[in-house]
């Protein structure tokens, strides 16, 4: 079951600042599991063991590729869709230990009861893992999309300025060359016309 985030349900704050983020009010389904991670119970194979709560932060949906979305928002077609980076959300998720599972390649994680049944017909040792289930704790709405659009616009302006400077340099080069040839009396009327046309073309490109 996916957790739906309503982008319009902003919490009341003293100062609304999308640069730092505005908290969103979570729905009744916010307690749903949006991510599960497994940590080896053997310290030899796991150099880090979470303690208490496992805190993480995401900006996109946590569902696996090809699987139903875990965190959704309303799409432009009026239907829920997976959260993506353009939504400008900062999502705090917290993981809690839900138990131990046995994991065998090619099989889904087994609970301790399922593991007992499995080992009754197999003498193969089964590695044990801690199962950590993550739920949403807080969602901040930021101006991420606007910042990205502003950045793209800024880059486009830089590119246009660069092109303008290049055309100016070409035009200046033509002028200097024409002036030198005129001073030396080496510029024929036909060549002069060609230079003039080139200068006009550069001016139009600008």
Residue 78 has a pLDDT of: 92
Closest CA to 35 of 85, 75, 92: 92
Residue 9 has a pLDDT of: 95
User: In this structure, what token pair is assigned to residue 128?
Assistant: 């044990």
Q: Hey, is 183 helix, strand or coil?
A: helix
Residue 181 has a pLDDT of: 56
Stretches where the chain sits below pLDDT 70 are: 145-206
Residue 55 has a pLDDT of: 94
CB 69 within 8 A of CB 3: no
Rounded to the nearest 5 degrees, what angle is found at the Cα of 164, between the Cα atoms of 162 and 169?
A: 95
User: In this structure, what token pair is assigned to residue 114?
Assistant: 């399922």
Residue 66 has a pLDDT of: 86
CB 58 within 8 A of CB 93: yes
Q: Token match 């569902």: residue?
A: 63
Residue 179 has a pLDDT of: 58
Residue 154 has a pLDDT of: 53
Could you list the beta-strand ranges (E) of the chain: 3-4, 22-23, 33-40, 54-58, 71-74, 80-82, 89-102, 128-141
End-to-end CA, the chain = 56
Residue 37 has a pLDDT of: 94
User: In this structure, what token pair is assigned to residue 197?
Assistant: 């046309």
User: In this structure, what token pair is assigned to residue 25?
Assistant: 């009010």
Residue 19 has a pLDDT of: 84
Q: What are the domain boundaries of the chain?
A: 3-142, 148-205
Burial degree of 91 (CB within 10 A; 0-12, 13-18, 19+) = buried
CA distance 182 to 72: 71
Per-residue model confidence as pLDDT tens digits over 2-15: 999 999 999 998 89
């Amino acid at each position: 079951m996916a957790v739906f985030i309503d982008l319009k349900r902003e919490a009341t704050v003293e100062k609304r600042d999308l640069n730092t983020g505005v908290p969103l009010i979570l729905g009744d389904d916010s307690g749903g599991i949006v991510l599960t991670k497994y940590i080896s119970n053997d310290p030899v194979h796991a150099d880090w063991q979470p303690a208490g709560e496992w805190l993480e932060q995401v900006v996109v949906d946590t569902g696996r590729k090809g699987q139903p979305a875990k965190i959704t928002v309303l799409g432009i077609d009026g239907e829920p869709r997976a959260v993506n980076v353009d939504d400008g959300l900062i999502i705090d998720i917290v993981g809690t230990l839900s138990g131990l599972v046995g994991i065998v390649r090619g099989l889904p994680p087994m609970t301790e009861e399922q593991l007992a049944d499995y080992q009754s017909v197999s003498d193969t040792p089964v590695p044990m893992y801690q199962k950590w289930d993550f739920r949403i704790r807080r969602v901040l709405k930021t101006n991420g999309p606007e910042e990205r659009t502003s950045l793209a616009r800024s880059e486009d302006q830089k590119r246009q300025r660069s092109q303008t400077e290049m055309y100016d340099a070409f035009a200046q080069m033509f002028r200097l060359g024409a002036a030198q040839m005129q001073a030396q009396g080496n510029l024929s009327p036909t060549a002069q016309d060609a230079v003039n046309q080139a200068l006009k073309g550069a001016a139009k490109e600008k």
